[in-house]
Amino acid sequence: ISSSTVVNDKNNLKDYIENAYETWDNPPVHVTIVGDAEGSYDIPTWNQYNGDGDHPYSTLEGSDNFPEVFLGRLSFDSSSQLATIVSKTVNYESNPYMGENWFQRACLVGDPSSSGISTIITNEHIHEMLDMVGFEDVNTIYSSPYPSQMQAGLSAGVSYLNYRGYIGVSGFSEANINSANNGFMLPVATILTCGTGNFGWGTSLAEIFLRAGTPTVPKGAVASIGTATSSTHTMFNNIVDMGFYYGTLVREIESAGASLMYGKMMLYENYPTNPSNYCDIFSQWNSLMGESSLVMWSDYPTVITVEHSYAMTAGTNFIDIEVNQPNMPLEDAWVTIWKDNVIFESAYTNAEGKVRLPVTSTNLGAVLVTVTKRNYYPYQSSFQIYDPGVAVHIAENGITISDDNTGESSGNGDGIANGGEILELYIPAQNYGSQSSSEITGEISSSSGYVSIINSTVDYGAIGSGNTSSPSMAFVISLADGLPDGADLGLQISFTESGGAEMQSVIDIQVSGNSLIGTGVNVIGSTNDVLTPGLSSYFEIELKNIGSTNAYSVTGTITCASPFIEILDNTGTWASIQSGNEAFNGNNYFEVFPLEEALPGTIVHFILNNQTPQGYESNSIVEVQIGTPTVTDPTGPDAYGYYIYDSGDIGYTISPTYNWVEVDSRYGGSGTHLSSLTDNGNNGDDVETISLPFSFNFYGQEYDEISVCSNGWISMGESTLASFRNYRIPGVGGPSSMVAVFWDDLQLTDQGRVYTYYDETARKFYIEWSRVRTYQNNTEETFQAVLLDPSYYVTPTGDGEILLQYLDFNNTSYGSYPYVHGDYCTVGIEDHT
């Protein structure tokens, strides 16, 4: 839209975006503002908490600060700058430079001189994520001189350039960007530190990255994220930065705008109390200079092959497109056809790499075809709609359906296809060509098992150029009982001219039927809809009819694969469910018996099979909880299947009994001091990788070594990360394959040490943090992790058991924001992904 539409006022613009979000048939997901916040091409931004930012444009519902749309801004001060930005963006997505694999290169920069060691730790965390997705060349810059090294890294060509440090970006400036010669090897630059995002006045470094170069000789970046004001704080910059890359690489979020949103949401996930409004502040201060919907590369693009017709006669109403990657079909590729705003259709390919799109115009000329998927080289081509002289297809005035029990038809007389009906199809034909045809015969066929064809052929006679033929004879088809709502009948018609070519059209018929899904349960006698272990329970299932016809006399049967459920009555009935409504089977409950062995909180899944007398059938999955866990019950399972039992979980034979085994040799233990592991306080965080005495399986992965951190955690395998700020798990900030025993900012001062010990008889390996102290309050902590040899302590999955024990547990890091992290400590496990 033009800013003149909203009188170039920020409140009017937000109202426009909000109205579009609430009322458009296809509401916006991405919003990109085109123009600087000042000057001749200005689109105003917001100034909140003394900092510039477009974030308020994204908060469209409720009073919270969570975005409903993803934002970006193409900031420019001249038409030449805009041309450069457009060239960089379009080439990045549609014609990326393939001469070398810059797609899997990155440059990570951390300057701890003023902002502390966490700037490096943040980059190490990002490095681990890059390694996980296969990046081959990650350039790390953790010491001076920064400007020349960053310029060289940019010139070499990287997919991502990340900087964490202090205001001034360690001397890196516009001159370095302009002196780099990276051409079309354009990174996404994340430079989250003070003063890099002040785009409301002057020109910020994020804008310089975006605008640099010319349309033919680009420089800088394709997009950049900067932070407004000179008052930012390291801990919050870190979380947004790590969140951006976690979203991009781990959660596989494709677009720059969405990944920035994910980084902002990590603020609230890790600091849910929004201390001193810092979550709101750093959501406002961090802005994307670039296209919000920009799909970011994370791998060398795979070349695809696309098959489709390159020419079709005027009036053809469909095109079939097939997409393949090397040796196999490509599923979920986004296919679009477009012509002069009269044809604009898109859909994803199916598991066979195929998609059929409607052709909605008879205008002659080229129709563009585009196929995209992240990390696949885009396909761009076209097909021609042409006039062959004779072009007979379905007429624009459409198809008439008779189901009124006259002639050969039978049905309810509503003129809509329903299961069990016999339809007479009156299909007019039109000659879209410039020449009259000879005799035309139409023949229908179907690829669907729902359809039986009774009369397949109709004669149309000769049709003059531009004329329509509407025979009195109908095609006749029979539809199977129980046809689901929206079913594809797979109907096509072939028009054949005597002595001439065949011309194909798709017969698109709306099918009206039932569509039933289970949406919830009501456990009789339970206010929380929870089954009670050891007691027979009745429950009813809520069914929603999302179909377009009412459902009557519905029956349902349940099955369950869980070993903790015995089904006593598997059948329920619903008298009727109106279209668009829900109903419970209140007159005929299901009855089940949850076994006492089921852990409280266990979720079981029932498969509900529904049927109607009309032949409709569907399956839904409905989940129900068994029991409500208390502090005396175990926690879990997680998605993989891990449970956590503690010594207070009374009544469980597997519950551990507290039995402290001292490892510290100073207190009678037999352990070995990890003397190379040091941490004398601020910026002294350390990690060491050691070998295990046995192979240990964790989340299905086998490890022969672990990394031990001074800050109360271990990681399976090798890690250089020494993260001291504890975060929510799973999530950003810590290593992959993590066991957080007492993850907090700890120090090995005074008597604090870390010991290891292998008990060969018991086949247990101990790691003990002995008499360590919290950095914030100097409270003493002593705790240990014990790995049990999985070849001796056998589990159903083969994964090893882990015992966590605490001699001194003082959870005192409550936080004094922004300089002290707080968040108490983190205890738990996360996998390698």
Q: What is the average pLDDT across 770-782?
A: 94
Residue 817 located in a structural domain:
yes
Single residue among 576, 609, 626 that ends a domain in this structure: 626
Q: What is the pLDDT of residue 7?
A: 66
Instruction: Tell me the pLDDT tens digit for each residue of 194-234.
Output: 999 999 999 999 999 999 999 999 999 999 999 999 999 99
The token pair at 240 is: 């947004």
Q: What is the pLDDT of residue 675?
A: 94
Q: What is the pLDDT of residue 499?
A: 81
Residue type, 394: I
Q: Does 189 share its domain with 212?
A: yes
Q: Does 479 share its domain with 598?
A: no
CA-nearest of 121, 124, 114, 126 to 188 is: 126
Q: Does 415 share its domain with 560?
A: no
For residue 1, pLDDT beyond 80? no
Residue 30 located in a structural domain:
no
Residue 49 located in a structural domain:
no
Task: Tell me if 193 sits within 8 A of 242, measured CB to CB.
Answer: no
Residue 537 located in a structural domain:
yes
The overall longest dimension of the chain from CA atoms, in Å, is 104
Q: What is the average pLDDT across 159-186?
A: 98
d(CA 739, CA 659) in angstroms, rounded, equals: 20
Q: Does 713 share its domain with 609?
A: no
Q: Does 793 share its domain with 715?
A: yes
Q: Does 569 share its domain with 593?
A: yes
The token pair at 629 is: 């866990």
Q: What CATH number is given to the structural domain containing 601?
A: 2.60.40.10
Q: What CATH number is given to the structural domain containing 196?
A: 3.40.50.1460
First vs last Cα of the chain: how many Å apart?
41
Task: Tell me if 733 sits within 8 A of 239, measured CB to CB.
Answer: yes
CA-nearest of 225, 193, 402 to 296 is: 225
Instruction: Tell me the pLDDT tens digit for each residue of 378-397.
Output: 999 999 999 999 999 999 88
Tell me 437's DSSP state: -
Q: What is the pLDDT of residue 660?
A: 98
410 pLDDT band (50/70/90 cuts)? very high
What is the percent of the chain with per-residue pLDDT over 90, rounded to a whole number?
A: 93
Residue 641 located in a structural domain:
no
For residue 136, pLDDT beyond 70? yes
Lowest mean pLDDT among 1-10, 17-26, 136-145, 220-229: 1-10
d(CA 230, CA 234) in angstroms, rounded, equals: 12
Q: What is the pLDDT of residue 309?
A: 97
Residue 11 located in a structural domain:
no
The per-residue pLDDT of the chain, averaged, comes to 96
Q: Does 396 share its domain with 414?
A: yes
Lowest mean pLDDT among 89-98, 331-340, 737-746, 807-816: 807-816
Task: Tell me if 191 sits within 8 A of 285, measured CB to CB.
Answer: no
Q: Does 491 share its domain with 534?
A: no
Q: What is the average pLDDT across 184-193?
A: 99
pTM of the model: 0.93
Cis amide bond preceding 637, omega within 30: yes
Q: What is the pLDDT of residue 398?
A: 86
Q: Does 129 share its domain with 269?
A: yes
For residue 29, pLDDT beyond 80? yes
Q: What is the average pLDDT across 411-431?
A: 97
Q: What is the pLDDT of residue 349?
A: 99
User: What is the span of the domain harbouring residue 609?
Assistant: 516-626
Q: What is the average pLDDT across 43-55?
A: 96
SS3 content of the chain, % helix, strand, coil (to 5): 15, 35, 45
Strand partners, 687: 709
Q: What is the pLDDT of residue 663?
A: 98
d(CA 94, CA 370) in angstroms, rounded, equals: 10
What is the percent of the chain with per-residue pLDDT over 70, rounded to a whole number?
A: 99
Instruction: Tell me the pLDDT tens digit for each residue of 253-308.
Output: 999 999 999 999 999 999 998 989 999 999 999 999 999 999 999 999 999 999 99
Single residue among 362, 386, 410 that ends a domain in this structure: 386
Instruction: Tell me the pLDDT tens digit for each residue of 470-518.
Output: 999 999 999 999 999 999 999 999 999 998 789 999 999 999 999 999 9
Residue 656 located in a structural domain:
no
Single residue among 342, 370, 386 that ends a domain in this structure: 386
Per-residue b or e along 658-676, where b marks 16 or more CB atoms closer than 10 Å to that residue's CB: eeebbbbeeeebebeebee
Number of domains the chain is built from: 5
Task: Tell me if 756 sits within 8 A of 671, measured CB to CB.
Answer: yes
The token pair at 181 is: 């010669």
d(CA 247, CA 266) in angstroms, rounded, equals: 10
Q: What is the average pLDDT across 443-468?
A: 98
245 pLDDT band (50/70/90 cuts)? very high
Q: What is the pLDDT of residue 683?
A: 84
DSSP for 797-829 reads TSPPPEEEEEEE-------BTTTB-----EEEE
Q: Does 357 share its domain with 437?
A: no
Residue 38 located in a structural domain:
no
In sequence order, what are the residues at sequence separation of 6 or more whose Cβ sits closer than 8 angstroms to the Cβ of residue 108?
123, 126, 127, 138, 139, 140, 141, 162
Q: Does 359 share its domain with 410?
A: no
CA-nearest of 172, 190, 200, 202 to 237 is: 190
d(CA 573, CA 575) in angstroms, rounded, equals: 6
Q: What is the pLDDT of residue 819?
A: 64
CA pseudo-torsion sign 17, 23, 24, 30: positive
Q: Does 796 share its domain with 741?
A: yes
Q: What is the dihedral of CA 806, 812, 818, 821, to 10 degrees?
A: 0
CA-nearest of 460, 471, 310, 449 to 383 is: 310
3 pLDDT band (50/70/90 cuts)? low
669 pLDDT band (50/70/90 cuts)? very high
